[in-house]
Structure 1
Amino acid sequence: MSQNLQRTLVLLKPDCVQRRLMGEIISRFEAKGLQIVAMKMMRITPELSQKHYAEHVEKPFYKGLEDFITAAPVLAMAIDGLDVISVVREMLGATNGLKAAAGTIRGDYSSSRQMNLVHASDGLEAAERELKLYFSEDELCDYETPMLPFMRAGDE
């Protein structure tokens, strides 16, 4: 297995769910050749929000963030791929949808700093920590797809 093969957490946030953009965004990840290995719709509780956004809990904007992320269901996904953490973050675009480039998910669908549709882990340590908050080991479904030889070279 390649050392560049990674796993990341992606959350389709309440605004994405409410705007019915889940399928559109999932299809972008699949079209890119990324592999979804776990997915579930859920509600984030205030307790889970505090664990997920632990570094922000004491900041003045945290209450608004918690109110937003707990307001409606989210779709949590574990996604695998080569350099998937940076690939997904590039696909999302800038955090502020008003500043995100056209062609990125936020650039195409968001016009807000907070209502920016998707969360993705920002590094390996964050991905490992966040994945454990949302998925147990038995919920992760590793599998091989017959398309893999047509998605990347054998030495990648």
Structure 2
Amino acid sequence: MSSEQTTDAPVEPSAESAQAAIAEEFGYLGDWTERYQYLIDLGRKLPAFPDEARTEENKVNGCQSQVWLLGRGDADRLDFTAISDSSIVSGLIALLLRVYSGRSAREILDTEPRFVEAIGLSKHLSPTRSNGLAAMLATIKRRAAELAG
């Protein structure tokens, strides 16, 4: 692992508690202007992504913007880092990493992204961003499935 990547424990003890915390945080925000700004702010806080990992192999296909996602670990703990050239997509990445990074492959596979509906993202994302979110989630789940056996 590169020194730029973190192996810190997730903020919440489980993927489900992370989803509940995200829903609660978004519940405090009024309109979608505030929610988009919060997403942008979250994206700005993503950890550095190593330049050498910006490869075709780590690129997420199906996203309109450029997205690179790297998963490292084993079946007991899978850590993800990712980056995008889009500020809104970077915020979506931050949410996905909060829910799925640092979890076991089994927990990742068993956790559906309920926060997307809970915070209203499904109604407020453009079709291309929705497709990109689905592609990022599919990449995370595929990596977990490879490790889960």
Q: How high is the TM-score relative to the length of structure 2? A: 0.32
Write 1 or 2 for the structure with the bigger share of strand: 1
Higher RCO (CA-CA < 8 Å; seq separation 6+): 1
Write 1 or 2 for the structure with the bigger share of helix: 2
Largest Rg, 1 or 2:
1
Q: How high is the TM-score relative to the length of structure 1? A: 0.31
